[in-house]
Amino acid sequence: MPFTPKFTITAKVASDLMRIEAAKSAVQHLPITPSVLSSLRETARILSTHYSTMIEGNRLTQKQVSTVIEDKQHFPGRERDEKEVLGYYAALEKLEQLVASGSAVTESQIQMLHALVMAEGRKKAKPTPYRDGQNVIRDSRSRGIIYMPPEAKDVPQLMHEMVAWIARTERKELPCPIRAAIAHYQFATIHPYYDGNGRTARLLTTLVLHSGGYDLKGLYSLEEYYARNLGAYYEALTIGPSHNYYGGRAKANITKWVEYFCGGAAESFEAVQQRAVEAAGRGASDRSPLLRRLDPRQRKALELFRESVTMTSSDVAGLFSISERAARNMLTAWVAGGFVVVADPARKTRRYGLSSDFQSAID
């Protein structure tokens, strides 16, 4: 039977959706230079990494998380915490590549994000298969069972139905924030892994939002909203008459969770809007008309040119997780469109530079 969640779009949800749309529209049209945008985006990544791992018990402060990621600094006795941080950050980077590729949300993408979460910062990881046995969620103090997820034999079908529902409801134009909320809830309900379910659920939420056009330039962190009041987060997720999946949670009405999530998204988006307004007002020149000429992949490629004067097809292939051949074809089209120029025509090591028009946008 196809996954069909029960929920109601209440007046509160409708109001929060309007707040989300207003903030989204405002941020999209703000004149923010690529250098300022990059700084804000990196801050959001670090916040997401800090708060998502903190929810799971990570003991590193936000400042320590930043130094672990940026400076590879080590903190004695916090090696496991450091690995968790590096794993989540690597998964966020992969998530951005998946969104840039324009592909639909798939099970293999979710499995890859989980693999990176658990890979302790290693850049290469194979998609992890679902659990092959029963797991339980216990109270950390009393050790009593809080939730008994579905049996392992049912997990593959439940995950397949969840991903199919995401695709089906996108075509039916169910508001993206609601799709993201329900994807988060259902993943946590299925609990397809022995460990890393919470972090992967939050990444899946971000993947659904960004893929649906609700990335707000990559500047927000829903994880911060969850972490500020963990009690409300867990209470909203705990729905149903029984702690057993088969005892009622599978068919529970999840309106309470949808309200919680949409309210948090609205709050987070409005906070981003305020920060973006402040950034745009700090003397940043208006590059919006110029940048609007670029497609999403070209905007993403600007990040490479802030780090290097030129780039190769290998750099582009790595940025978007595509083949070298596809990257070469993309670069050829970019040259024809005036976005990049050939800086070194050598066939095997051909390098491309940013055209003078767009160079001014990152200076």
How does pLDDT run along the chain (363 residues), one tens digit per residue? 688 999 999 999 999 999 999 999 988 887 776 667 777 888 889 999 999 999 999 999 999 998 998 878 888 899 999 999 999 999 998 998 899 888 899 999 999 999 999 987 676 788 999 999 999 888 766 777 788 999 999 999 999 999 999 999 988 889 999 999 999 999 999 999 999 999 999 999 999 999 999 988 888 889 999 998 888 998 888 876 777 888 878 888 999 999 999 999 999 999 988 888 887 766 444 455 566 677 778 878 887 777 778 888 888 888 888 888 999 999 999 998 888 998 877 777 788 888 887 776 665
Answer whether 245's CB lies under 8 Å from 149's CB. yes
Whether domain 288-362 has CATH 1.10.1530.10: no
The reported pLDDT for the residue numbered 73 is 82
The reported pLDDT for the residue numbered 291 is 63
| pTM: predicted TM-score of the whole model, two decimal places | 0.77
64: CB partners within 8 A, 6+ apart:
73, 75, 78
The reported pLDDT for the residue numbered 54 is 94
The reported pLDDT for the residue numbered 214 is 93
Token digits of residue 13: 């949800």
All CATH 1.10.3290.10 domain ranges in the chain, comma separated: 11-280
All CATH 1.10.10.10 domain ranges in the chain, comma separated: 288-362
What is the CA 249 to chain-centroid distance, rounded? 26
The reported pLDDT for the residue numbered 257 is 95
Q: Hey, how many other C-beta atoms are within 10 angstroms of the C-beta on 250? A: 17
Query: Rounded to whole angstroms, how far apart are CA atoms 201 and 184?
Result: 5
Give the Å distances, CA to CA, from 117 to 55, 90, 123, 318: 14, 7, 10, 19
Give every strand in the sheet of 351-354, ordered side by side: 310-311, 351-354, 340-344
Cβ-in-10-Å burial (0-12, 13-18, 19+) of 18 comes to exposed
State the distance between the two ends of the chain, measured CA to CA, in whole angstroms. 55
Query: Rounded to whole angstroms, how far apart are CA atoms 183 and 189?
Result: 10
Fold of the CATH domain 11-280 = Fic-like fold (1.10.3290)
The reported pLDDT for the residue numbered 207 is 96
Query: Rounded to whole angstroms, how far apart are CA atoms 185 and 182?
Result: 5
